[in-house]
Structures are given as structure tokens and as C-alpha cells.
Structure 1
Amino acid sequence: MSTTHSPDSKGKPPLALIAGPTASGKTDIAVNLALALKSRGRKAAVVNCDSAQVYRDLGTLSARPTAEDMRGVAHLLFGTWDGATACSTADWAKAAKETIARLHCDNTMPILVGGTGLYIRTLLDGISPIPPIDPDIRAAIRAMDQSDARSALEAEDPEAAARLAPADTARTARALEIIRSTGTPMWKWHGQQVGGIAKSIHLHPLILVPEREKLYAKCDARFNWMLRNGAIEEVQALLARGLNPELPVMRAIGVREIAGWLEGGCSRDEMIARGQMATRQYAKRQYTWFRNQSPPNWQRIDPESFVLSTHFELIFQD
């Protein structure tokens, strides 16, 4: 992933990035930064890079910022997609690039905030120019049993098979679709990334790394808060729509767990335990991703030790 403060960054439009695991307080910091810039006569807007908060169906379940949370600061790409339409990484990156360009034209500082590392990497470094997958090939592969798909991938793209876990159904299907539709294995496409904005902006990144046990306690508390503040009603509304269960909105954390309880598959206490565990596991994956995938020279800080003027000093000087 691209780094920051390159020697040729002078004169390039700035972009702030505040990223980290769920329940780490990213939005509060982003809004505080925007308000601090406003007090200095500079416009700013918060741009979402969370793959659940893009869906309007998941206001509570994604902990999407409320009007009270926003405190008068413009928030963009939150609740933009209807759950019936999957928002791919490429879809989001295209929308984010257009949004950031408009903000820069208006002399407004974009503050990118979220925890979806793949979104961030794709925006900065670009995406592989893989041609559209043949619909018939996609349908045939998605209808395959996972064991059959895995065996086919081992034969047709052994490099991808060696890299992917045997139970990873989504990535197995994707790799098999690519090799069958394009005749080229996934790894060759991944070496040809295009469309990233890293070289055209001056990036100011901050990675939040809370103490793990405190983070997990916040995850547990947040799931309980969701249940009290509309999460159950959101899942009921989704189920009433009869959406494809493979859509991202139907696989969001909390949706499956609450749906299982509503349909009589578990007790309320079991549902809560499963939802809290899923949230903690997701936070752990995000934590690991940012630790291993983000450049070592990106600032990392425990949110409890965060000082706005110190950690974004360069922004205030620009």
C-alpha cells in the first residue's frame, strides 16, 4: 500500500485518512478534525470507507453516524447504496475518487474514515483491470459445491489455491471465475493495478490501534446498544424484502445472527453471544489487517492517547 509524505507531495491536494477497527472512535476523531479545520477557516467533509455503512438499510447495524454524531459536518457516501445492489470495491473506489475530486475542486479537505482496508488500498493503489466475467461462467461456478470448486481451482490455478483457505467460498469462486473467463490467473492481473490516486494527493494517514481488551468490551457493548436502537427492526425489514441471502447487506455482522433468532433458530441469549463474537472477530481481522498491510511509516496511536493538534500538525500547517 502506498506511503505518505513523499518528496514530491508539495502542492498536491491533501487527503486525511483515519482508519482502524470497528468501535475504535474513528468518526469522532474525523468530525473533531473537520471542526478544527473549520475554526481555522478551512472547509472539510467526512468520506465513508466502511463497506457496511455504504448501505442505507444498515443504519444501526453498521453504526452509521447519526445527525447528532455528524455535528453539522458534511458526511458523504454513507447510506448511498440500496441493499438490493451489491457495492463492490471497484464501485466504491470509483464513487470515492469522484467525491474526493469534487471536494478538492471546492477547496474542501476530504477526511476518509472507516475500517475496510481493501477499500483504502484500492483507492490509493488502484485495482487490477480484470475484464467483466462471463455471466454464464459465473452462474456455473456459483452453483458448484465448494469441494468441487476447490478441486477445480487446484487444477486450473494452483497458485491461487495454495494462497486461499479451503473453506473460503467467495475467493475460491472469484479466482475460478477469473481463470475460466479470462484465461489468465488472478496473480497476473494483480500485478497490473491502475487508477489509484496515491501519487496525485498528499496523504495524511492515522491508524487507530486501541488496547485489544478494551476494544472487545466496546464491541460487546455496541452490539447490545444496536439491539436496543433498531437493529432488530432493520433485520425484519431486510427479511421482508426477500433479498438474495448472498448479497453483502444480508451477510453483514448482526444480520445473520438476528435473523436466526427471529426465525427460531436460537435463543435471544445465544443470538447476542453470536453477534458479539462475530463483532469481536471482525475487529480482530481489521486490527491484523492494518498492522500487517498499512505502511510502517503511517502514524499509529491508541485513541485514548490521541491529541488532534499533534497527530495532524502537518494539516494545520499546510
Structure 2
Amino acid sequence: MKPAILIHGPTASGKTALSIEVARKYNGEIVNADSMQVYSELKVISARPDAEEMEGIPHHLFGHMPAGERYSTGIWLEQARAVIEDIQKREKTAVVVGGTGLYLLALVDGLSDIPPVPEDVRHEVLEISKKDGLRGLKIRLQAVDPEAAERINDNDRQRLMRAYEVWLATGRALTSFQQQRTKGVLNPDEWLGVALTPPRSKLYARIDKRFEGMLMEGAMEEARKLVDLGIDPELPAMKAHGMPWLSAFIRGEIDSETAAENAKRDTRRYAKRQFTWIGRQFPFWPRIPGTELSTRMRVISALYKEVDR
């Protein structure tokens, strides 16, 4: 069985081009590990690779979910398990690529077995966050799950809400579930993982340029179609990079320049959080700070020789 190759990195760091090159060299097929690229309606906004970019390399778990459905790490893990096993049975290399670090962690370390949270509980926590703000939500969380409250950043709305949702739904702290994990899909000797860590100034400039390109390629039209569908704004697809600000422009709440600048700013901030995540959650993954494709391939080739013995 050929070792899987896992590629992680912040948004706009060049993961797509690298994954194509890796798949070509190692007779591989690409498996998506990006939580927004799973949605069929988010082609431009999620920077999902198109047919030309794929260059004939088989791609899996891209654009296969409707934006009106809630996707989760657990669902992705089971789908990825089936895809990777099939790729390996055909004696090909699974190249798993994406910026959703939790997906990759679940793949190699397993996933906490947390029961589903009912929609009425999600709605209750959403109303609490609107009424009391993030500070109020964190104070509530500190009373029931102090470990999670200490670990989660004060401005991380999604994770604060998730932790409090779990407590309301189960009566147990999220931390207690995280201490009980299912087995990962890949054993330690069955994969190689690398993290792309390009210079931040170059990455931030690329983020700005890429968003401008997205607007030219139809991001606004894509956002308008999603808004017209009347999808719940709290669903993950409606929180894709730039989507909240494009939606606000479409509703007439802000002008186009403000929407674009705020979208770029938030995406840069997200990239910064991804760097932090890599530092904390992937401490032993080799870093590739270089941005040249040839440099990245040399690093992966050297590492792959060590695991493919």
C-alpha cells in the first residue's frame, strides 16, 4: 500500500498546484480536505479547482454537497475513508489536500465521538450570542467547560458556540468528549504530512489579488444565487471567505468597495489563524516555507523516500 501524502497550509498558499504536481509524480488521486470546496454552489468563492486546473487527475469530494446542508468533520471522515481505501486498493497514491486542519487531524489521529446537536439547540445558542455577544457566550462557557473556554480564542465565534451547544445538548463538556477519540483512518506508517508556511507578506498580497480575480470570475454572481436561494445564513456555506460581505452588498447594506476590502481583511485574518493552528496542532509536520513549486517538490520527494521503504 502506497503511503498517502497530506498537504496542509493556509488559504491561497498554493496547495492546489502542488497537489496536482504530487499526484502526477506519484500516480495519485486527489482527495479534498477543505470544508468549503465540498459545496457545489461555491465554485469561485471557495477557489475550487476547475477541469483545466485538475489536468486530468482524478479529484474526490469536491463540489459534491448542496450548500443548504450542514457538513461536518464526521461526515467528511467517513467519506474520505471510503475514497482513500478505494484509491489504495487500486495501488494508487491518495493525495489529501486542504486548509481545514481538523479534517487532516481526524484522518491521522481520529475524531471525538460527539453526538449531533439538535437544530433547536443551535438556534438557542445563536440567539444567546446575538443577545449577549461573544463575551457573554464565553462567560457562560467558562461556568460549564472552563478548559474549553480557556483554550478557545475570545473572538472565535464558531468554536465558542460549538462548545456551548455541546454542553446544552448533552450536559457534558466538549472537553470530556475530546478525550475519547475514535481510531484514525491512516496509521502512523501510512502517511506523510507537510505544512506550507509561505512568508506572510507574500501570502497576504496573494490573498488580496486572488479575491480581486474571483470578483472578475463571477464571485458576486455566485453569491447572489446563494442569497436568492434563501439559505440559512448560519449554515457553513454562507460563511465562506467573503460570502458574508458579498451578501451584505447584495442586500444593499454596504457598497461594493467596502464588501471587497472587508472580505480581503477577514481572509487575511483567517490565514493568520491557520498559521497559529499549524504551529499548535501540527508541531511535527515538516514545514515548507519556500513558494517555488520545484522547491516544494524537492522537499516532498526527499521526505517520501523515507516513508516509502
- Looking at structure 2, the residues matched to 75 and 296 of structure 1 have their Cα atoms a distance apart, in angstroms, of 27
Normalised to the residue count of structure 2, the TM-score between the two structures is 0.89
| 2:205 is the alignment partner of 1:221 | no
Amino acid aligned to 1:180: L
Match of 2:161 in 1: 173
- Looking at structure 1, the residues matched to 303 and 42 of structure 2 have their Cα atoms a distance apart, in angstroms, of 35
Which region of structure 1 is more displaced relative to structure 2, 223-232 or 303-312? Answer: 303-312
Amino acid aligned to 1:232: M
Deviation (angstroms), 1:228: 0.3
Match of 2:7 in 1: 18
| 2:197 is the alignment partner of 1:209 | yes
Deviation (angstroms), 1:69: 0.5
Q: 3-state DSSP class of the match of 1:228?
A: helix
CA deviations on 1:103-137 (whole Å, 9 max, x unpaired) are 11111100011111111111211111123345554
Match of 2:52 in 1: 68
Q: 1:36 to 1:241 in 2, by over 3 A?
A: same
Q: 3-state DSSP class of the match of 2:41?
A: helix
Q: Which runs of 5+ in 2 are unaligned?
A: none
Q: Which runs of 5+ in 1 are unaligned?
A: 1-11, 38-42
Match of 1:103 among 87, 92, 105: 87
Share of identical aligned residues, percent?
A: 36
Amino acid aligned to 2:245: E
Normalised to the residue count of structure 1, the TM-score between the two structures is 0.87
Match of 1:153 among 141, 145, 165: 141
Match of 2:17 in 1: 28
Contact 2:199 2:289 in 1 (8 A): no
Which region of structure 1 is more displaced relative to structure 2, 292-301 or 135-144? Answer: 135-144
Q: 3-state DSSP class of the match of 1:197?
A: coil
Match of 1:274 in 2: 262
Match of 1:5 in 2: none
CA deviations on 1:50-89 (whole Å, 9 max, x unpaired) are 1111111110001100111111101111111110011111
Greater CA radius of gyration, 1 or 2? 1
| 2:111 is the alignment partner of 1:123 | no
Deviation (angstroms), 1:14: 0.7
Count of matched residue positions in the alignment of Structure 1 and Structure 2: 302
| 2:70 is the alignment partner of 1:81 | no
Contact 1:146 1:167 in 2 (8 A): no
